[in-house]
Amino acid sequence: MRIDAALRRAIPSLLLVLLLPACAATREPSAYSAENPPPKYTLESFGLEDETLTIDVYDPLEPANRAIYKFNAMFDRAIFLPVTDLYAFLTPTFVQERVTDFFSNLTELETFANSILQGKFERASRALVRFCVNSTIGLAGLFDPMTALGTHQQREDLGQTLGVWGVGDGPYLVLPIFGPSNLRDTTGLIGDYAAYQAVDPFGLASFEDDHPEMTVLRVLDKRLTTKFRYYQTGTPFEYDMVRLLYTSWRRIEIEY
């Protein structure tokens, strides 16, 4: 579910989303009348009109979020997936895996810093060891010998750190192209990005400034390794399900 740190160039539009007016989402189906009769079963039929259920997530921007969700699905279908498929078709699997390992290795720094901030020192040292070994023996992270040795990656990001410090989810947000998030995690995303720019590992952040093709590669790798496909879940309530699962899963990631 995590679609993070991918389209860095889109951050200005993210900020725009945060400024969208908070159109209140109606929780009730449309008002019924003689012309618009009610259905056989309503919330009232089951005494649910005032109940908060598991599926309910704080989502004051719901109409805008649903519109962006639709945009993301259309973008995915028309551009993102076809280009990603082309990338997968043109490059050997071996090369794809090296690209994945390379970008994945860079996230160890993010995990290291955030683990320290959360007081998770074992996780921090694991991230540091992984980064050092994979960056040297693993040829600048192109290979991942640490996973082969049984030390798997465990990610921590600033959104989780904020959560550990007691920052609540805030309103649920669907970010253009990135997908599901909330105010806390979006703030974290921007913070992690700023830190990446400041640390500039391997001079990559500066390199990317002049070489947008590197960013494109990062984004394609992200899409290739993200298995989620819009509207493949077979439910017309996919937006609700994704919202619930994103929120629940982040809660678990913060707790552990």
Partner 1 sequence: MSGAATLRFAVPGSVLVGGMMLVRLGCGVLLALLLLAARPQAWAAEEEAYGYPFTDPYEATVLGTPTAYRADLPKQVPKQDLWLEIFPDRKVPELFWYNEKLNVSVVRQRHKAPLIFNIAGTGAGQNSMLMQMMERAFYKGGFHVISLPSPTHPNFIAAASETQVPGPLMSDARDLYRVMQKAYAAVADSIEVSEFYVTGYSLGAADAAFVSYIDATEKIFDFQKVLLINPPVSLYDSVDILDYMIDFIPGGPENFGAFFNSLLQKFGEVYSRTDSLDFSGDFLYEVYKATKPTDQPLKALIGISFRLSSSSILFTSDVLTHSGVVVGPATRLSSTDDLTPYFKVSTRLGFLDYIDDLVLPYQQRSDPKATLQDLIEVNSLHYLDGYLRSNKKIGLMGNADDIILADGEFDYLADVFAGPRSKLYPIGGHCGNMPYTQNVADMVAFFKGEWGQ
Site residues, partner 1 (CB under 8 A)? 1, 25-30, 32, 35-43, 45-46, 48, 53-56, 62-64, 66-67, 70, 73, 77, 150-155, 227, 229-237, 239-241, 245, 248-249, 251-252, 255-256
> Per-residue DSSP letters for 70-111?
HHHHHHIIIIIHHHHHHHHHHS-HHHHHHHHHHHHHHHHHHH
Q: How far is the CB of 217 from partner 1 (least distance, A)?
A: 21
CB 233 within 8 A of CB 241: yes
Task: Considering the complex, state which of residue 215 and residue 225 has its C-beta at the smaller distance from partner 1.
Answer: 225
Rounded to whole angstroms, the Cα distance separating 155 from 112 reads: 9
Rounded to whole angstroms, the Cα distance separating 229 from 179 reads: 11
Q: How far is the CB of 247 from partner 1 (least distance, A)?
A: 11
Local structure of residue 127 (DSSP, 8 states): H
- Start-to-end CA distance of the chain, whole Å, equals 17
Task: Considering the complex, state which of residue 45 and residue 197 has its C-beta at the smaller distance from partner 1.
Answer: 45
Task: Considering the complex, state which of residue 2 and residue 184 has its C-beta at the smaller distance from partner 1.
Answer: 2
Q: How far is the CB of 212 from partner 1 (least distance, A)?
A: 29
Q: How far is the CB of 160 from partner 1 (least distance, A)?
A: 13
